[in-house]
Structure 1
Amino acid sequence: MTSFISHTSIDCADAYTLCRWWQAVLDYVEDPDDPSGPGQDECMILSRDRTHRLLFIEVPDSKKVKNRVHFDLRPVEGSREAEVARLIELGASPVDDRRNPNGSGWMVLADPEGNEFCVLSGTAEAGGVA
């Protein structure tokens, strides 16, 4: 017997707002069977192929320390630098620059509620690694 990950849950202060932010970042879609709206304490989004789901759940406590689990994002098209710029324009905040002069490394950002995530080199920059 084994298990599989049904979805990834993210604790937050405002489920709807953070759900919409990550939806724009990842080009995910709303769950057609469970649409989200302002004021809901749980909101889910899905990858377009429905293989990955993110559930945002409102909790009363605020984030206090570094995440123990985080997302590593790799741009599908374009460069890491272009993606970092896009994410900052959407409302992400820079946390730690771990980029190296040779193009390796990553950039650590935080979403609007302070959850850290990394942006890796783009697929083309990484030699086609997905």
Structure 2
Amino acid sequence: MSLMLSHTTVDARDPYAQARWWCEMAEFTPKEGVRPGSDECYVATGDGYTVLFILVPDAKTVKNRVHFCMRPKDRSQDAEVERALALGAGVVTDFRSSGGWVVMADPEGNEFCILADRHTTGE
């Protein structure tokens, strides 16, 4: 028997707000049932992977043990960082001066990274 990764779950104080924010930030698509007041909000990535935002009573208090690493597709890393900031994200740590990534936090404080774009890294 083997296991298959079903989805990634993100704890949230407001699952709907988090789902909508990530749909805007990463062009995820909301799945059926994503509405204000929902305890569970599923979204899908462009390639069909599912992320679940689930209601929890407590706020985030320490560093994430798991986080999203996002790579720009058709914009520069700098443009994506600026877009994330405009959407309400914050910068946690910025490694761009050494050609690296930017650790950011979504509106509930969950960390994610915006990696260097492929044009810069040659990947």
* 2-structure distance, mates of 1:65, 1:39: 25
* 1-structure distance, mates of 2:14, 2:105: 15
How is 1:35-46 mapped onto 2 (pairs within 5 angstroms)?
Answer: 35-46=33-44
Structure 2: unaligned runs, 5 residues or longer: none
TM-score scaled by length of structure 2: 0.94
Q: Give 1:78's match in structure 2, choosing from 65, 75, 80.
A: 75
What is the SS of the residue equivalent to 2:92? Answer: strand
Structure showing the higher helix proportion among its residues:
2
* 1-structure distance, mates of 2:4, 2:97: 35
Tell me the amino acid that sits aligned with residue 39 of structure 1: G
How is 1:110-125 mapped onto 2 (pairs within 5 angstroms)?
Answer: 110-125=105-120
Tell me the C-alpha RMSD between the 2 structures: 1.1
Q: CA deviation at 1:124?
A: 1.9
Pair 1:48–1:119, CA change in 2 (3 A): closer
* 2-structure distance, mates of 1:59, 1:78: 34
After superposition, the C-alpha distances for 1:51-91 in whole angstroms (9 at most, x for unaligned) are x1110001011111000111111100121111100010011
Q: Which runs of 4+ in 1 moved over 2 A?
A: none
What is the SS of the residue equivalent to 1:56? Answer: strand
Q: Percent identity?
A: 46
